[in-house]
């Protein structure tokens, strides 16, 4: 599973042990969410600061599938902050840089202690803007796919 709800990860069998002892940082410089606009979905880019590098709170696991070892990772999600709530009802947990060591500390096995870190990120440090639907196609692997666009331009293309 790509995402895990932080509020229930400590009690769900699929995530409980990983939250106790297999935490990781998932580096990023942005993330995307889609908002329904009629029949279409409008993608939005979310950033911290001016495209600063940040880390999501992640958990990982390793298991056997037949004879193969499979390693997986999930990003923990939380309730949205003021920036993300206009577009989506969840957001990934973004950790403050000064919390990285605590999050990764193998001695910190108390789920309630690490749960304190699993909160919405400070909305004042984030920004969001609409981007082209080019992001929806993996073949579009260039900087333009996540460049800001004017919503009026998008609506004109959708409805003309």
In angstroms, the Cα distances linking 59 to 21, 50, 88, 94, 144 are 9, 27, 22, 13, 31
The whole-number pLDDT of residue 104 equals 96
Full-model pTM: 0.88
**More confident of the two residues 80 and 37:** 80
Residues 6+ positions from 20 with CB-CB distance below 8 Å: 10, 109, 111
156 φ/ψ angles, rounded to the nearest 5 degrees: -60, -40
CATH topology of domain 3-159: hypothetical protein yedk fold (3.90.1680)
Chain mean position to CA 66: 30
Q: What are the residue boundaries of the structural domains of the chain, listed by start? A: 3-159
Q: What is the pLDDT of residue 160?
A: 36
Q: Which residue would you say has higher pLDDT here, 86 or 154?
A: 86
Q: Which residue has the higher pLDDT, 143 or 133?
A: 133
Q: What's the pLDDT at 159?
A: 37
The 10 Å Cβ neighbour count of residue 14 is 12
The residues that bridge with 148 in the sheet, in sequence order, are: 131
What pLDDT, on the 0 to 100 scale, is given for residue 152? 58
Contacts of 111 (CB under 8 A, 6+ apart): 10, 16, 19, 20
Q: Give 79 or 153, the one with higher predicted confidence.
A: 79
140, two tokens: 């579009």
**Residue 118: strand, helix, or coil:** coil
**Arithmetic mean of pLDDT, 42-58:** 95
68-100 pLDDT, tens digit each: 999 999 999 999 999 999 999 999 999 999 999
Neighbouring-strand partners of residue 62: 71
């Amino acid at each position: 599973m790509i995402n895990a709800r932080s509020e229930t990860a400590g009690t769900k069998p699929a995530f409980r042990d990983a939250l106790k002892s297999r935490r990781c940082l998932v580096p990023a410089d942005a993330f995307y969410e889609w908002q329904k606009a009629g029949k279409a979905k409008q993608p939005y880019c979310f950033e911290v600061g001016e495209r600063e590098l940040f880390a999501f709170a992640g958990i990982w696991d390793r298991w056997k599938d037949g004879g193969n070892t499979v390693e997986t990772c999930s990003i923990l999600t939380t309730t949205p902050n003021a920036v993300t709530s206009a577009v989506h009802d969840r957001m990934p947990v973004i950790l403050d840089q000064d919390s990285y060591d605590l999050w990764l500390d193998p001695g910190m096995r108390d789920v309630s202690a690490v749960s304190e870190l699993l909160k919405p990120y400070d909305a004042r440090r984030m920004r969001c803007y609409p981007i082209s639907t080019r992001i929806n196609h993996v073949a579009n692997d260039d900087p333009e796919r996540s460049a800001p666009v004017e919503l009026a331009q998008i609506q004109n293309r959708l409805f003309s």
